[in-house]
Structure 1
């Protein structure tokens, strides 16, 4: 199982939590191999070159398959090089503001930003990350002019929320403790439903800002041409693994809902998100520079 991100991150922890149950379900050793770099592209390149024999897979957020080919130059042809196998979970993003910002709802944030164009700032885990793309989608749908401040990961962005250096950001479930302690305030969540972790927070759609539904899907990918019976066997093993209460608890601690989609449904989810991101990236001229 190749992971395109450093040890300790959400994708890596998910992979390591699932490794032992997958070993039991498959009757095969499962080794996690970290190949960080280029937002998962280095790992994806390795998986694309691997034999399609069922012994190499990748656990990744679907941004590797959706946004990366549009943002990285030269682009990896991941659509042809890797096949979606099954989803493992979904993580909403949380619209979090510094605690003294004079906005307690998404509508108030929208009004504040519209009243002072170019004055507010939002952070992200880096250019091209899902945090960045959702931030730009929010700007587009809310019709606001806000400065983007990229960081090297979610943790530094949250630190500047706590310190008041930036006004808000879309948190990938890393700031739950700070929200619960009142050090930052949660205004809303992305997605089509409320968060099970903070059910009192509305979705952005409920708050009147529609079309900001992107979150973080995570799943398993295989080299193209991996035989269908192998794809199905892995999908079944993941489904069995994700049904285990211990795995579900561990994923919940990461802010990830253990949602399993079969190959067909997962592929449709990927294609739908890719279409949204294509329009967004082209319209707003988003790049990694």
Structure 2
């Protein structure tokens, strides 16, 4: 199948070559990549992995500029308002692009102000409980919690955070009536579950993984419909009746301001895709705790659109909002 796709792609590549050849060479100088989070955060780690490879393959340095604050909105807005010449890009992610505009006002329009370049990784989410929780699997969990509306509580990394919205989506599909207990970050949220102060949480694999491995928490299911390459023994929550459409992951990728030149978009799209097909790149993403999944420019826009629709419905059902 891969050989046949390669043969079909060849004529397109040849036909596109003259158009690209007529365009100015890109890049001709360093490319700034705005990372709207502090160094060491997941988006930062993933962006730097891709930036290093693009620097090598495209012949100019891709330079990180961390502009953290306001849940990623400060740096995201900076990139949205930059010149659309391909020399300022954004390390985009689900939080400021999809989640934030649905729960609060943002200084940018996430559906109009950006050019989509490519998803490079997904962060999966895991349903975790304390070791002594009576349910032994996801089906038992749903039966128990559904039979006791309002009795069980779950923690999140904050009201309106992506983890909160993903949990709300799962609750709606599974028909669960539970109490939300927000914390300032995923660390305190998971500590509360481990300590028995709340009953469960739906948090990132990167955050829950170490606690699962030490037996501090038990994993009952994972948010990706087809499961996780990084945790193949955790079954997808989509296997539960009513949850067949549950496919939730926080994506990370590269974007740019709206109206970037088409030839530049094509070059970056192709370069990102080529990089993400390399086994070494996929391994580096996995080491950073991310599912090494790639979606090109058009597929990225479609993925974000589907996610936005699902999140919007979950937010409306759970009445999630951030005051101000």
Question: TM-score normalised to the size of structure 2?
Answer: 0.84
> Number of residue pairs matched?
289
Q: Name the counterpart of 2:283.
A: 249
Unaligned regions of 5+ residues in structure 1, if any?
none
The one of 208, 218, 221 equivalent to 1:188 is 221
CA contact (8 A) 2:169 2:310 kept: no
Q: Name the counterpart of 1:159.
A: 191
CA contact (8 A) 1:26 1:234 kept: no
| CA distances 1:109-154 after superposition (whole Å, capped 9, x unpaired) | 2222223322211111212222100111122112122111222222
Aligned-partner Cα distance in 2 for 1:83–1:102: 47
Unaligned regions of 5+ residues in structure 2, if any?
1-32
| CA distances 1:222-272 after superposition (whole Å, capped 9, x unpaired) | 100110111112122222322333332221123312222111111111111
Displacement of 1:28 in angstroms is: 1.2
Q: Name the counterpart of 1:277.
A: 311
Mapped pair 1:87 → 2:111: no
Displacement of 1:18 in angstroms is: 2.2
CA RMSD of aligned residues (A): 1.7
CA contact (8 A) 2:130 2:196 kept: yes
Mapped pair 1:198 → 2:231: yes
Aligned-partner Cα distance in 2 for 1:2–1:129: 21
CA contact (8 A) 1:68 1:75 kept: no
Aligned-partner Cα distance in 2 for 1:250–1:163: 33
The one of 62, 66, 80 equivalent to 1:48 is 80
CA contact (8 A) 1:69 1:75 kept: no
Structure 1 outlier segments of 4+, above 4 Å: none
In the TM superposition, 1:57-96 aligns within 5 A as 57-73=89-105, 76-96=108-128
Mapped pair 1:123 → 2:159: no
In the TM superposition, 1:94-173 aligns within 5 A as 94-173=126-205
SS in 2 for 1:118: coil
